[in-house]
Amino acid sequence: MPDPARRGLLRLLTCGSVDDGKSTLIGRLLHDTGQIMDDTLEGLARDSQRQGGVAAPLDLALLTDGLEAEREQGITIDVAHRYFATARRGFILADTPGHEQYTRNMATAASNSELAVILVDARKGVLAQTRRHGAIAAMLGIRHAVLAVNKMDLVDWEEAAFGRIAAEWAGFADGLGFATMAAIPLCARLGGNIVRREGAAPWYRGPTLLAHLEEVVPEQPSGPMRFPVQWVRRAEPDVRGYCGVVSGGRIAPGDAVMVAGTGRRSRVSRILGPGAEQAEALAGEAVTLYLADEVDLARGDVLAAPDDAPVVADQLAAHLLWLDAEAMLPGRQYLARFGQVWTEARVTAIRHRIDLPTSRPLPARRLEMNEMARCHLALARRVAIDPYAQNRATGAFLLVDRFSHRTVAAGMVEFALRRAGNIQPEALGVDKAARAALVGQKPLVVWFTGLSGAGKSTIARLVEQLLHRQGRHTYSLDGDNLRHGLNSDLGFTDEDRVENIRRVGEVARLFVDAGLIVMCSFISPFRAERLIVREMLGPGEFLEVFVDAPLAECMRRDPKGLYAKAARGEIANFTGISSPYQPPEAPELRLDTAALTPEAAAELVVQRVMAMMAEASSQNKV
């Protein structure tokens, strides 16, 4: 029985464009290394020959035990992992799909791999997808790459064809920072230069693919000690163990540790591995740590060496690989996961987009699917981070859509922004409650949303007049008015609309802090941005009023003549015509302005405002 531990385990992935032969290559590796029995191969050959009553070429993709979709439609839609071993070492291989819409699967595999086998078709050469996969692999920390030039038999094993492809790849990949790069001509279908040398290519004197894989020496995880806590174990009432994976450096009993961000210190008293105590734990090992002192640790906390702790910040620079079909818009709020820690996050700026096929920086205001950019992010809480190049565990994060819960982006930390540690909230001498008590009212935001022409501004103006007559302290924020001053630099693209509402929300929050009732009249077409404003405020401080009028009725009214201009193509990105509107799903109040007069609608809003104020007053008395 071979001993795969002689060279250690190598984690690798295969990637490339559709039909470049990834599944065939994997099948050949498994078969020719003895992982698939001959009778399995012969049975698959017989099944292949029976199709249509004529002999058909053997499809080695079936050897990889792929998904039904791959077998029936010829595509792979997920990452399949295989283990195989030789006398020299063991391998964990991730087979990633070649389709562009499944780049997320390739990125997931790359984040856990040490080597990438990037396939190209000898007839097609280096494609944009080849360059994209190479750039993603490098940015996700892979240090070793192999360009597998497949289907060389279809170009008669021509040395010049291989040389052109290898030279083009080298010219691109030289700037990606790989520690080792190799180009190997092969034929996965027939097995040439995979495990055995190909006699038809005497000009190639390099190693076979397997021989090269056996010799690669991946860098060992280095850097300072990091131990993210994944779970708190309470084996005994007064004894707590902290479970997790050492993600950097080494740790041993007696070593001093510190909780990142809090400064709490202790020493490791014992380390429990799988079923036994250990004298030390190295990067990559899953262990349970016990501390000498009672330290209040929770899931998501990070233990580190006191003299080399991670930065704890709520603003950072990072590379983002966007994975979702819906574009990323700066200012929109997402959920971010750093290890076991969840927090709200938004992209505050796109510094530049990276053209993956060329690695050139390009200007961008949004990110589309499979695009990568260098961005600045702001988080709702401080988290412990390291540069991704130093530590993948504390340097990686995910962004998740708040509504659909889809994973929309993979992130790689570059560094914490300097201003993150220098700016602290200032405590003021008079708070919101004191200001509200002085004017005798509950401050809140009345947010009017709806299509242009639905009647938002008209109703908001009437509501403010009614409240003013009752002695209430109010202020109105109207979309058109703010675009003459605060938001005069913004247009009407999706990106600008997001930023427009973010700024309005911040201003409205300040007015609420001052104790006022604020009328906000904005189309505010996106649910995500309305939710952001709601969450800026306290409970019961946001009243969403959906001013609902059918598009046909708004077009008939057209008080500003905007629909007519949009119909003539004179206005781009016009909500309801060329830009979407997402109506509220559960507004506090819906006004059907096709049936209600503005005066009647305003009365309904005032009644709801007064009811909210009465409820708040009652709760305060209790």
CATH code: domain of residue 406: 2.40.30.10
**Average pLDDT score over residue span 303-331:** 91
Structure tokens at 147: 């360009």
**Residue 424 forms part of a structural domain:** no
pLDDT at 69: 37
- With a CB cutoff of 8 Å and minimum separation 6, the contacts of 367 are 320, 322, 327, 328, 350, 353, 373, 409
The overall average pLDDT reported for the chain is 85
| Whole-number Å distance between alpha carbons of 468 and 288 | 63
CA distance 445 to 435: 16
Domain-embedded: residue 221: no
Separation of alpha carbons 479 and 529, rounded Å: 15
Q: What is the pLDDT of residues 411-457, one digit of tens each?
A: 999 999 875 455 556 677 788 888 888 888 999 999 999 999 999 99
Judge if 318 and 297 occupy the same domain.
no
Residue in the structure block whose two tokens are 């792929």: 66
pLDDT at 358: 74
| Confidence class for position 6, pLDDT limits 50, 70, 90 | low
pLDDT tens for residues 133-143?
A: 898 888 888 99
Q: What is the pLDDT of residues 155-211, one digit of tens each?
A: 999 999 999 999 999 999 988 889 999 999 999 999 999 999 999 999 999 999 999
Residues 88 and 182 placed together within one structural domain of the fold:
yes
Residue 377 CA to residue 330 CA, distance in Å, equals: 9
One domain, residues 232 and 207: no
Q: Do the Cβ atoms of 305 and 224 come closer than 8 Å? A: yes
215, 249, 264 - which closes a domain: 215
pLDDT for 62 beyond 50: no
250, 278, 304 - which closes a domain: 304
Q: Within a domain: residue 20? A: yes
The DSSP letter of residue 126 is S
Can you tell me which residue has the tokens 């599944």? 23
Contacts of 117 (CB under 8 A, 6+ apart): 12, 13, 14, 15, 25, 146, 148, 209
- Looking at the fold, whether 503 and 556 belong to one and the same domain comes out as yes
Q: Token pair of 414, please?
A: 């570059």
Dump pLDDT digits (tens) for 363-382: 898 999 888 999 999 999 99
Same domain? 389 vs 493: no
Q: Are residues 294 and 324 in the same domain?
A: no
Residues 394 and 320 in one domain: yes
Give the separation between CA 518 and CA 537, rounded to whole angstroms: 12
- Which element (helix H / strand E) includes 37? none
78 and 26 part of one domain? yes
**Pairing mode, strands 226-236 and 302-304:** antiparallel
Q: Could you give the percent of the chain with pLDDT greater than 90?
A: 50
Asked if residue 266 lies in contact with residue 291, where contact means CB atoms within 8 angstroms, the answer is yes
Tokens of 540: 């019961």
Mean local confidence (pLDDT), 66-79: 40
* β-bridge pairing 341-355 and 333-338: antiparallel
> What gap in Å lies between CA 190 and CA 341, rounded to an integer?
49
CA dihedral defined by 291, 293, 294, 298, rounded to 10 degrees? -40
Joined tokens for residue 476: 């109105």
Side-chain-side CA neighbours of residue 250 (13 Å): 9
Check whether residue 540 and residue 518 sit in a common domain: yes
Half-sphere exposure (CA, 13 Å, Cβ side) for 442? 23
Number of H helices, E strands in the chain: 17, 26
Residues 354 and 499 in one domain: no
Contacts with 376 (C-beta within 8 Å, 6 or more apart), sequence order:
315, 316, 317, 318, 347, 348, 349, 351, 417
Kindly state whether residue 260 falls inside one of the protein's structural domains. yes
Report yes or no on 235 lying in a domain: yes
Residue 264 gets the label, from left (phi > 0), alpha (psi -120 to 50) or beta, of beta
pLDDT digits (tens, 9 = 90+) for 532-577: 899 889 989 999 999 999 999 999 988 888 888 888 888 888 888 8
In a domain, 426, yes or no: no
Contact 546, 584 (CB under 8 A): yes
510 and 409 share one domain: no
Report how many domains make up the chain: 4
What pLDDT does 221 receive?
Answer: 65
Give the pair of three-digit tokens for residue 326. Answer: 């819906």
Does 3 have pLDDT greater than 70?
Answer: no
Share of the chain above pLDDT 70, in %: 88
CATH number of the domain encompassing residue 51 = 3.40.50.300
Virtual CA dihedral for 569, 574, 579, 583, nearest 10 degrees?
A: -150
Q: Are residues 371 and 476 in the same domain?
A: no
What is the C-alpha end-to-end distance of the chain, expressed in Å? 77
- Which position has the higher pLDDT, 34 or 502? 502
* CA–CA dist 210, 223 (Å, integer): 31
SS3 132: helix
Smallest CA-to-CA distance from 78 within 92, 61, 98, 93 is with: 98
In a domain, 425, yes or no: no
DSSP string across 307-320: TSPPEEEEEEEEEE
Least confident window among 1-10, 361-370, 378-387: 1-10
Say whether pLDDT at 48 is over 70: no
Residue at a domain's end among 394, 419, 444: 419
Q: What is the domain range of residue 494?
A: 432-621
> With 80 as the cut, is the pLDDT of residue 78 above it?
no
- Asked, for residue 565, whether it belongs to a domain, the answer is yes
What CA–CA distances, in Å, run from 269 to 225, 231, 240? Answer: 16, 18, 11
Place of tokens 């992130």: 411
Kindly report the backbone phi and psi dihedral angles of residue 132, in degrees, each rounded to the nearest multiple of 5, phi listed first.
-60, -45
Q: Does residue 227 contact residue 304 with C-beta atoms inside 8 Å?
A: yes
The answer to whether the beta carbons of residues 422 and 416 sit under 8 Å apart is no
